C-alpha cells in the first residue's frame, strides 16, 4: 500500500513538473518569436527609441537588448534626476538629489548595491560610450519619483520626471527621486533564479560568439521533458527551426531550434579541433507525423518475424518513440555519430568519449545513458544528444543525473 501511494505521488508530481515546463517552454517560444526579428535580423528593425527627459535617441535592437532583457542608459536617468556621482566610468555610485539614497553600479556585474544592499539585476550592467546601461526592469522596480513607460509592440522607452496637471500647466511638478530599497530590508531579486549562473569553460577555439547560445539567458526555457508519460501535443511545432550545419553530407536536410543549433555549431568547432572530424548529425527535428510513420514502419518490420502487433510494439518501444512521446519533436535534440547507422557500437569510438566528456560545456546532455534505462525507458543511445543549456547540462553532469531524475530533483528542491 505504502508503495502505491508513494509512486502515485511521484507520478503526479512528475506530471505537475512536466506541465509546468511545457507551459514555460511554450511561453518562452512565444517570447523568442516576438524578439526573433530583433535578435537575428537587427537591420530590418529601426531599433528602440529612448526618450529620457529631453534626451531622445535610438539604439539598434542589438544594442538595446542583452538577450531578451531591454537595457536603458542609467547616466541619462541620473542626469534627469540631478543625481551626483563618484567613481570611475566602469564602477560608479549615484546619489539621489535630496536624500541619502544611493546606488552603486559596476559594468560587467549583475549585482548592484542599492542603499547598501545587494540586488541582482536581470542582466549585467554594460558600459557603452562611457555610459552605464542597466536593465529597464531594474529601474522600473527600484526607482521612485520617475515615470517609466515602455511600449511592448514597438519597444520604445520613455522615462520622465515630474507631473503636469492643470495647476502646473507646462511646468512639471518635480518629485524627489530615489531608490526604494534599504539595508534593513534587502529586496528579493526579480523573478527568475539569478543564482543559475552557468559555469565558464575554456576552449581551444574561440567560441565567444557562441556563449549566448550555449548559455541562454532564460536558463529554464530548454528543460521540456518529453517521454512516454510526458507527451507533447500532436500539433506542436517549435519556433525558429533552422537547418543544421553539421549534417551528414548525403543530401539530407535536418532542422533544429536555432539556439540549440548554434550551440551545436560551437560543439563541432571544438570537437574538430580535438581531431574528431567524422561525426555528423543524422537526425534533428521530427514532426509528429514523421515519428508516427517511423514507429509504424519499425513495427511492421518487427512483425515480419511472425509476432503480433502488440509484441512487435513492445520491441519497437525500446528503441523508438510513439508519436507525441519523441523528444525529436521539440527540435532540441539530434542524433550524431560516425557510423553508417545509429548503433551502440558508437560507444566504442573515441569521438563518443570526447562527446560525453565535453557535451555539457556546450549545453548538451547524453539523453539516454547506459545504466539509466529503467528511468528513461530507453536503451542506451550513445548517439542521441539533447540541448538544455549549459547551466542545467553542467548540473546534470555534476549530479550524474538523467533528465527524468534531474527534473524530479528540481521539483523537490524548489
Ligand atoms: Zn534520437
Q: Which domain holds residue 157?
A: 47-179
Summarize the confidence of residues 117-146 as an average pLDDT. 86
Residues 156 and 226 in one domain: no
| pLDDT at position 5 over 70 | no
DSSP letters, 331-344, are: T-EEEEESSSS--G
Q: What is the chain's mean pLDDT, rounded? A: 84
382, 376 contact by CB (below 8 A): no
Q: Could you tell me if residue 62 is inside a domain?
A: yes
Here the CATH number for the domain that contains residue 145 is: 3.30.457.10
Q: Could you tell me if residue 186 is inside a domain?
A: no
Residues 143 and 280 in one domain: no
- Residue showing cell 526592469: 137
Q: What are phi and psi of 284, to 5 degrees?
A: -125, -120
Residues 100 and 227 in one domain: no
Distance (Å) from CA 333 to ligand 1 centroid: 7
Domain count, the chain: 2
Query: What single DSSP character describes residue 149?
Result: E
Distance (Å) from CA 195 to ligand 1 centroid: 32
Percentage of residues in the chain having pLDDT higher than 70: 81
Catalytic site includes residue 381: yes
Residues 60 and 137 in one domain: yes
Summarize the confidence of residues 166-170 as an average pLDDT. 56
Residues 7 and 57 in one domain: no
Residues 276 and 144 in one domain: no
Residues 121 and 242 in one domain: no
Residues 222 and 361 in one domain: yes
Of the segments 23-27, 134-138, 296-300, which one has the largest average pLDDT value?
A: 296-300
Distance (Å, whole) CA 155 – CA 166: 30
Q: Could you tell me if residue 321 is inside a domain?
A: no
Q: What is the pLDDT of residues 318-352, one digit of tens each?
A: 888 899 999 999 999 999 999 999 999 999 999 99
178 beta partners: 144
Catalytic position from the list 381, 404, 405, 414: 381
Distance (Å) from CA 321 to ligand 1 centroid: 9
Residues 60 and 130 in one domain: yes
Higher pLDDT residue, 73 or 142? 73
pLDDT of amino acid 248: 95
Q: Which three cell numbers stand for residue 366?
A: 547524453
pLDDT of amino acid 83: 86
147 beta partners: 160
Distance (Å) from CA 322 to ligand 1 centroid: 13
Amino acid at each position: 500500500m505504502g508503495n502505491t501511494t508513494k509512486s502515485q505521488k511521484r507520478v503526479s508530481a512528475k506530471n505537475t513538473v512536466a506541465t509546468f515546463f511545457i507551459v514555460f517552454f511554450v511561453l518562452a517560444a512565444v517570447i523568442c518569436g516576438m524578439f526573433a526579428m530583433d535578435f537575428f535580423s537587427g537591420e530590418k528593425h529601426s531599433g528602440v527609441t529612448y526618450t529620457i527627459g529631453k534626451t531622445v535617441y535610438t539604439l539598434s535592437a542589438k544594442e538595446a537588448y542583452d538577450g531578451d532583457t531591454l537595457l536603458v542608459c542609467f547616466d541619462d536617468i541620473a542626469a534627469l534626476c540631478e543625481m551626483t556621482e563618484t567613481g570611475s566610468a566602469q564602477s560608479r555610485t549615484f546619489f539621489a538629489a535630496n536624500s541619502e539614497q544611493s546606488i552603486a553600479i559596476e559594468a560587467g556585474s549583475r549585482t548592484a548595491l542599492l542603499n547598501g544592499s545587494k540586488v541582482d539585476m536581470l542582466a549585467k550592467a554594460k558600459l557603452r560610450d562611457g555610459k552605464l546601461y542597466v536593465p529597464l526592469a531594474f529601474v522600473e522596480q527600484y526607482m521612485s519619483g520617475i515615470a517609466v513607460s515602455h511600449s511592448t509592440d514597438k519597444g520604445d522607452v520613455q522615462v520622465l520626471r515630474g507631473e503636469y496637471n492643470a495647476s502646473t500647466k507646462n511646468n512639471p511638478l518635480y518629485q524627489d527621486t530615489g531608490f526604494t530599497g534599504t539595508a534593513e530590508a534587502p529586496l528579493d531579486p526579480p523573478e527568475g533564479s539569478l543564482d543559475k549562473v552557468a559555469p565558464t569553460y575554456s576552449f581551444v577555439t574561440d567560441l565567444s560568439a557562441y556563449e549566448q547560445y550555449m548559455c541562454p539567458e532564460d536558463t529554464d526555457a530548454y528543460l521540456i521533458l518529453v517521454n512516454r508519460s510526458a507527451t507533447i501535443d500532436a500539433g506542436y511545432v517549435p519556433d525558429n527551426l533552422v537547418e543544421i550545419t553539421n549534417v551528414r553530407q548525403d543530401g539530407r536536410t535536418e532542422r533544429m531550434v536555432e539556439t540549440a543549433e548554434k550551440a551545436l555549431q560551437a560543439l563541432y568547432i571544438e570537437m574538430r579541433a580535438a581531431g574528431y572530424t567524422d561525426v555528423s548529425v543524422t537526425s534533428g527535428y521530427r514532426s509528429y507525423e514523421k515519428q508516427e510513420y517511423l514507429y509504424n514502419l519499425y513495427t511492421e518490420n518487427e512483425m515480419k518475424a511472425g509476432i503480433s502487433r502488440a509484441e512487435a510494439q513492445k520491441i519497437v518501444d525500446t528503441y523508438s518513440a510513439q508519436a507525441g512521446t519523441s523528444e525529436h519533436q521539440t527540435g532540441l535534440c539530434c542524433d550524431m555519430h560516425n557510423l553508417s547507422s545509429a548503433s551502440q557500437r558508437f560507444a566504442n569510438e573515441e569521438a563518443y568519449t570526447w562527446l560525453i566528456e565535453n557535451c555539457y560545456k556546450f549545453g548538451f546532455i547524453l539523453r539516454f545513458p547506459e545504466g539509466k534505462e529503467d528511468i528513461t525507458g530507453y536503451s542506451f543511445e550513445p548517439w542521441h544528444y539533447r540541448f538544455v543549456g549549459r547551466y542545467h547540462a553542467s548540473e546534470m553532469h555534476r549530479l550524474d543525473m538523467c533528465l527524468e531524475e534531474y527534473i524530479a530533483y528540481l521539483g523537490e528542491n524548489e
